Amino acid sequence: MIHNPAMECMPREEMRKLQTERLIKTVKTCYEKVPFYKRKMDKMGIKPEDITSIDDITKLPFTTKYDLRDEYPFGLQAVPMSEVRRIHASSGTTGKPVVGTYTQNDLDNWAECVARVLAVGDIGPGDVVQVSYGYGLFTGGLGAHDGAAKLGAIQLPTSSGNSEKQIMLMQDFGTTALCCTPSYALHLAECIEKSDTVKAENLKLRVGFFGAEPWTWGIRRELEKKLHIKAIDIYGLTEMSGPGVGGECQYQDGTHVWEDMFYPEIINPETLEPVAPGEQGELVFTSLCKEAMPILRYRTRDLTHLIYEKCRCGRTAVRIGKILGRSDDMLIIRGVNVFPSQVEAILTEFPAFSPQYFITVDRKNHEDTFDLDVELRPEFFSPNPAKQMPFIKPLYDRLCSVMGIKPNVHILPPNSIQRSTGKAKHVNDKRDFSNWR
């Protein structure tokens, strides 16, 4: 189902005209009401009247997570607090949190965006949407909640955690759609497999909307098989609004961006110049409709490419290719660039291994070390190391071939690696870069 055909299927030239109108208005607002952007634009010699087309977006300054933290909490806000209706923020685990403020119109637009994604699963009145994203400052819970409300569905606000109760409610209340991180969905699937009273095939669950962290096709296949669902990728970030900046259609061939509200670019992360159409690079977003906190050219650090061909579903909205990783998640091991998502993708190629893993990076004797903890599935595990060797060798060879480094692989008993109820943590980098020369 297409929720808003007028916007999701708008001809490209009409969309460009709409984007131009909204960009001109946004730039004027940023220059006149946000001192941060006025300083940036003045330093670059740019005035609002210099922006006459969506193509002029490359003249504008970039915004980074560091900018948002430096302006914490409300330095990028364009409206008085009397017009703000909600505040959200990132976890702030590596410094000050990134703050997002919303007017009522911002909240309405956000709900509209999430509704467009949920509509792919034919969500509507009578559907029970179990929202197992965290509620609170994190955007996931309330974002999915309001999107489900926009479609007239029943919202089941379970938040994250207490998995046994989640599964009980899923069964007793007849949940038809699940919204959570893919790592938590995997954990729920494992809990259902172990249950003596609940069977996945007996649940009414038919679709899952998973986001807030990268996930692979292997994880998708595992979720669809174990939960008997269609697994849909939903993309978002606090800096733009939250979940719902884009989402997959039924063909799962890239993530549609609602570009009437968010304009995407791909740049070379080193030169900051636009790349050729279809080329991979860093994803950049400009908000086109946000009132409380408009953002110009936000560098997401997500590495991907854009797909402009019209989709089989009929939507003309540009699509994001599968996120390869984040430039700031990249690990440099003995001079080789390694992404944690590579490990996940490789693990799902081997039926004997669960997709759970944990990486520990350290530096010993002036050389980087890369230790990888993995789990064999219960039916393949043996405490006898000799019986594990037939599984380790093919995995080790594949890891070396894809990543270009030789990891130290450690096989742990099933369920040894900590599961997450939110965003999964897969890496502990213990290197002290302050002493490097």
Q: What is the CATH number of the domain that holds 18?
A: 3.40.50.12780
Give the pLDDT confidence score for residue 328 in this predicted structure.
Answer: 66
Q: Are residues 309 and 359 in the same domain?
A: no
Contacts of 350 (CB under 8 A, 6+ apart): 391, 394, 395, 398
* Residues 282 and 377 reside in one and the same domain: no
Residue that terminates a domain, selected from 308, 325, 342: 325
Determine the pLDDT at residue 437. Answer: 31
Rounded Cα gap, residues 37 and 394, in angstroms: 53
- For strands 230-237 and 207-210, give the pairing: parallel
407 with 292, same domain?
no
Q: Which two tokens stand for residue 435?
A: 């002493």
Please state, in angstroms and rounded to a whole number, the distance separating the CA atoms of residues 205 and 179. Answer: 11
Q: Do 375 and 293 lie in a common domain?
A: no
Nearest CA-CA partner of 284 in 240, 244, 316? 240
Same-domain check for residues 142 and 30 = yes
Residues 207 and 304 both lie in one domain: yes
The answer to whether residues 295 and 391 belong to one domain is no
Strand (E) or helix (H) holding 368? strand 367-376
Domain count across the chain: 2
CA atoms of 154 and 248, how far apart (whole Å) = 22
CATH of the domain at 424: 3.30.300.30
Judgement on whether residues 266 and 132 belong to the same structural domain of the protein? yes
Instruction: Please compute, for residue 357, the number of CA atoms within 13 A of its CA located in the half-sphere on the CB side.
Output: 25
Distance from chain centroid for Cα 330? 16
Among 282, 297, 325, where does a domain finish? 325
Pair 393, 314 in one domain: no
Q: Which of 393, 425, 431 is nearest to 411 (CA)?
A: 393
Residues 209 and 144 in one domain: yes
- Both 71 and 194 in one domain: the answer is yes
Q: Which domain does 243 fall in, by range?
A: 1-325
Domain end point (choices 305, 325, 345): 325
Same domain, 320 and 358: no
pLDDT tens across the length of the chain (437 residues): 999 999 999 999 999 999 999 999 999 999 999 999 999 999 999 999 999 999 999 999 999 988 998 999 999 999 999 999 999 998 654 567 899 999 999 999 999 999 999 999 999 999 999 999 999 999 999 999 999 999 999 999 999 989 999 999 999 999 999 999 998 999 999 999 999 999 999 999 999 999 988 788 889 999 999 999 999 999 999 999 999 999 999 999 999 999 999 999 999 998 999 999 999 999 999 999 999 999 999 999 999 999 998 899 999 999 999 887 777 677 878 777 788 888 888 998 999 999 999 999 998 876 789 999 999 999 998 888 888 888 888 999 999 988 888 899 999 999 899 887 777 888 898 886 444 33
